[in-house]
Structure 1
Amino acid sequence: MKNFLIILTFLFTFIAPATAASTKTVMVFGDSLSASHGMPIEAGWVALLTQRLQTKFTDYQIINASISGETTLGGRNRIKQSLETHRPEIVILELGANDGLRGASIKSIYENLATIIEICQQNNSQVLLVGMQLPPNYGMTYTRKFQAIFPQLAENYQIKLIPFLLAGFGEKHEFFQADGIHPNEVAQKKIVETVWEVLQTMIKTEKIAANPDN
């Protein structure tokens, strides 16, 4: 019996931590568009992406650190703690829409996102930046400058970019909830495909880099 307990202690002390350490994390760091606003959590694109990830890359998990109403400044203020808590290999950065809808300065949006990206890179987390667009009623000049923020950041920091989270349905009312802002449950499946197309390439590249001989 004593020998059996010793073996169990060995297993829990050495094998279990090694298994936990082998799990890599993708952290979604966004606002209500990623926080399943207006629908059950399991119907949101992050939950659907989790299901996809579990079937394709079993050594990865997804942590959703998104908060409804979040701004780039709010994200800037909490990114360090989120990174320390979850230690993600990849951060899907989906912020900026609330800033744009409130007419925040282009400079402040850019600087906040840039700071978040820099902090992620300093913590060895890859960033997948999610681009957003604004309705045309915000004025051509402002909407163009806002849209340009994301490709500029992607180029300056050499990170992956999803040009537009709502690509393929952004102008179709039938894919939105009653508020006309948040995508409905049907649209979540389209968002998953948009995110997955880029995310899977990042994971495959990471795996190759970690195991160059395989």
Structure 2
Amino acid sequence: MVGKLGLIISFLLLFQAGNSTKTILFYGDSLTAGLGLTTEEAFPALVEKKFKQQGKPCKVINAGLSGETSAGGLSRLEWVLRQPVDVFVLELGANDGLRGLPIEQTQKNLQAIIDKVKAKYPKVKIVIAGMMVPPNMGPDYTSKFRKIFPELAKKNNATLIPFLLQDVAGNEKLNQADGIHPNVEGHKIVAENVYKVIQPLL
């Protein structure tokens, strides 16, 4: 009897442990994909590693696609949401900004992505990565672009990463030759930025 009881308790503990593993989906462009690096060197994998080191195992899905726009992200979303997600990190819009696409359309696409994620998984926690565009886009455009992300976060009661590339953007030592994409050391800093924001959610 004792042996059976012990077996049942062990099974329940294993079941609870399995249920405690959260799934974090990083949905973005080349920054999330880790352009120029291996998937293991990109910040999503580094965030997963940090959680495991803290005794909080989680499953991280890197759904980054280089060159992705908000419109492209909206069109491929259904395929990505085939499995349950606990935390959805939205990192899109930068390519819209670099191409000078209409602010209103970018914001509309990002909102549509959030709406679809919430409809599919009502209990999901949304995290929005704030982005900026170079000043050569003009002061009016750059200002309006920057406001997209905090406005979306406020409207959707989502968690905001104020600026994904904080302490990395503009630093030659932390970026690749193109001056846009972080190198290995840059991704480590981005991972730290992201981890600090997501950690309380788990």
TM-score band w.r.t. shorter chain: 0.7 to 0.9
TM-score normalised by length of structure 1: 0.82
Describe the SS at the equivalent of 1:28.
Answer: strand
Higher mean alpha-carbon deviation, 171-180 vs 66-75, is at 171-180
**Match of 2:134?**
135
Inter-partner Cα distance in structure 2 for 1:187 and 1:53: 19
Asked if the contact 1:54–1:61 (Cα under 8 Å) also holds between the matched residues in 2, the reply is no
**Match of 1:209?**
none
The residue type equivalent to 1:78 in the other structure is R
Identity of aligned residues (%): 39
What is the root-mean-square deviation in Å for CA atoms of aligned residues? 2.1
Deviation, structure 1 residue 19: 6.4
Describe the SS at the equivalent of 2:128.
Answer: strand
Asked if the contact 1:53–1:61 (Cα under 8 Å) also holds between the matched residues in 2, the reply is no
The residue type equivalent to 1:192 in the other structure is A
Deviation, structure 1 residue 35: 0.5
**Match of 1:181?**
180
**Match of 1:111?**
108
Match 1:44 to one of 42, 48, 60: 42
Asked if the contact 1:28–1:63 (Cα under 8 Å) also holds between the matched residues in 2, the reply is yes
Inter-partner Cα distance in structure 2 for 1:15 and 1:198: 29
Q: Please give the per-residue CA displacement for 1:27-65, whole angstroms capped at 9, x wherever unaligned.
A: 000110011101122211111111112222544211111
Inter-partner Cα distance in structure 1 for 2:48 and 2:174: 22
Structure 2: 5+ residue stretches without partners: 1-11
User: How many residues align structurally?
Assistant: 191
Inter-partner Cα distance in structure 2 for 1:102 and 1:66: 19
Structure 1: 5+ residue stretches without partners: 1-13, 204-214
**Match of 1:69?**
67
Describe the SS at the equivalent of 2:68.
Answer: coil
**Match of 1:7?**
none
Q: Please give the per-residue CA displacement for 1:119-140, whole angstroms capped at 9, x wherever unaligned.
A: 1222222110001001111111
